[in-house]
Each structure stands twice: as structure tokens, then as C-alpha cells.
Amino acid sequence: MMKQILLITDGCSNVGVQPAVAAAQARELGIAVNVVGIVDYGTIGVLGGREIEDIAQAGGGISRIVQSHQLSQTIQMMTRKTVVQTIHQAMNKELRQILGADGADSVEALPPDQRAEVVRVMDDMSEQSQLRVALLIDASASMKPKLAAVEEAIRDLMLSLQARVGKSELSVFHFPGPHGGEEAVQDLEWTDDIGRAKRLFQRLNMRGTTPTGPALLKVIDYYQYDSHTSSSSAEEQTYQQEGTGTDGIWSDYIV
């Protein structure tokens, strides 16, 4: 299964562990972290911009800074890119073993016929693999005017996920929670039902702090907790060992 966290924020964290540290932890566990910064007026600031980049880099994902009207297509594209990237990385690793090629762009280096075959398999996998995306929404006070766009973007992403052949699920968290002790609150459990992704943030009590790092950790824990209780935990294990679960597929096509 492919696992992603998508963080949507509009500024700097100001409480708790550095978010990049949390993102690096996610990456270790096979979860890619993507980050979108939303700016509607002005800029996100040098600090905010750097933090967003750092989180995505540590989390092995992509970062983008966009306006709210671009949010839907941005997160759609990032999610898809990350799926392909995950497959691509796994495949490059194997290609290097098989061909002894060096560098990260082994796919490009293949002769046309083999490249065609490898990409065909990659396409099938990105269409058919299972996918889970946990959305983590910054709901600090400054995000309030953007939440309608966020909700629409979640609906839109759900629509794209539903169109995949492989089982795809989405879950939504926002942070900070209403009380001091809570880093993040779950709005939606794993689901593929678009009807449930409506009016998520209606009665939200928006506060000032931005505990991005702790909130990320909470989502990571949710992933972990979930994979222990789910019936497919045996499958999860192999996934984590291999990093991607794509082992052995390539050799059939390449050699």
C-alpha cells in the first residue's frame, strides 16, 4: 500500500517538535509527506516558505505554495506525482541492481522497447496499487477564510481517488485541537465515500497556535495504530520491509 500525508498550512509552526523531524519519521515508516502552503494575499514569508520546503524534503515528498483557487489541482497533481515517484524510486533501485546502471534516471537510460514496457508496468501499478492519503489541515485562525477552498479541494481529491482502479482511501485531520492537550483532531476516518467529505469544518473553533510537528506525529501514530489493527497487517509488514512492495516485478520485464 502507498501511504501519504498531505499537510495544508499557511504559515510557520510555533509549538512543539520541529515538523521536519516528524516528517523524517514518517518517511522512515514508508509514508511520504507532501506540503502545500496557501497564500491569498501577500507572501507566506521566508521562514514559512523554508519550513514548507524542509518538511517535504525530510518527508520525501513535494512542496508547493499556491493560492486557494489553485488548491484542488495542486493537491491532485501532488498526490499523483508522489504515487508515481514512489514506484519510480523502487524501480530505479531494482534497475540499478539488474543493469548495474548508476544515477537516478535509469528509466530514461533504457532502450525504447524496455522503457516502454517498464513504464507500462509503472502505469498499471500507479493505477492499481492501494493508496491512503491522510490530509492534515492547519486550522489556526489565519486559515479561516481558506477553509471553504480546502473543503472543495478535499472533495476534488476524493473524486480523483475514487476513479482509480486500486482501493483508495482518505482521512482528514485538523490542528490544533480545541483543548490544550490535543495536537490534532480527526474529522474523517479512512473512507472512499465522497458523501462524507462534506461540511467537515463547519463548527470549528479556530485558535492561534500552530503545532505542526506534534500534529504530524499524531497522524503518523494513526497510520501505525491502524495498520496494527487492520486485517491486512501481514501485508503491511512486507511492504515495510521492501520499502515499496514492488519486489521482483521488474526483473521479469528487464532481463
Partner 1 sequence: MGYGVTTSFKAGGQLHTVKTAVRQISVAPGTVLKGMWNERVYRIERLLGRGANGVVYLVTMLAMEENRERSSGSFALKMGVDAVDFQSEINALRSLEHQRRTQDGRVGRHGARPFLVDIDDADVSGQRIPFYVMRYVPGVSLKAYIYKNGADWYGLVGGKLLARLNKVHQHGWVFGDLKAENVLVNDDGTVELVDYGGLTAMGNSVKQFTELYDRGYWHAGSRSADCGYDLFSFAVLTIQILGEKELRERLKASLPQTRDVKDLQELVRNHPRLRPFESWLTRALKGAFASSEEAYRQWQELSHRLYRTSKKPHRPTPLWLKWFFGVSVFLLVISIALAAWGFDLRR
Site for partner 1, rule CB under 8 A: 66, 69-70, 72-74, 76-77, 79-81, 83-84, 88, 105, 107-109, 111-112, 115-116, 119-120, 122-123, 126-127, 131, 148-149, 151-152, 156, 159-165, 168
**Least distance from partner 1 to the Cβ atom of residue 66, Å:** 8
What is the H or E stretch that residue 53 is in?
helix 46-58
67, three cell numbers: 493560492
**Least distance from partner 1 to the Cβ atom of residue 215, Å:** 25
How many Å apart are CA 234 and CA 203, to the nearest integer? 39
**Least distance from partner 1 to the Cβ atom of residue 30, Å:** 19
Q: How far is CA 220 from CA 23, 32, 39, in A?
A: 9, 11, 26
What is the H or E stretch that residue 18 is in?
none
**Least distance from partner 1 to the Cβ atom of residue 73, Å:** 4
**Least distance from partner 1 to the Cβ atom of residue 136, Å:** 20
For partner 1, the closer of residues 160 and 240 by Cβ is 160
For partner 1, the closer of residues 15 and 99 by Cβ is 99
For partner 1, the closer of residues 92 and 240 by Cβ is 92
**Least distance from partner 1 to the Cβ atom of residue 22, Å:** 26
For partner 1, the closer of residues 164 and 207 by Cβ is 164
82-102 burial code (b ≥16 CB/10 A, e <16): bbebbbbbbbbbbbeeeeeee
For partner 1, the closer of residues 160 and 186 by Cβ is 160
For partner 1, the closer of residues 117 and 226 by Cβ is 117
**Omega of the bond leading into 178 within 30 degrees of 0 (cis):** no
Among 219, 184, 210, CA closest to 51: 210
Burial of 206 (0-12, 13-18, 19+ CB in 10 A): middle
C-beta neighbour count of 113 within 10 angstroms:
8
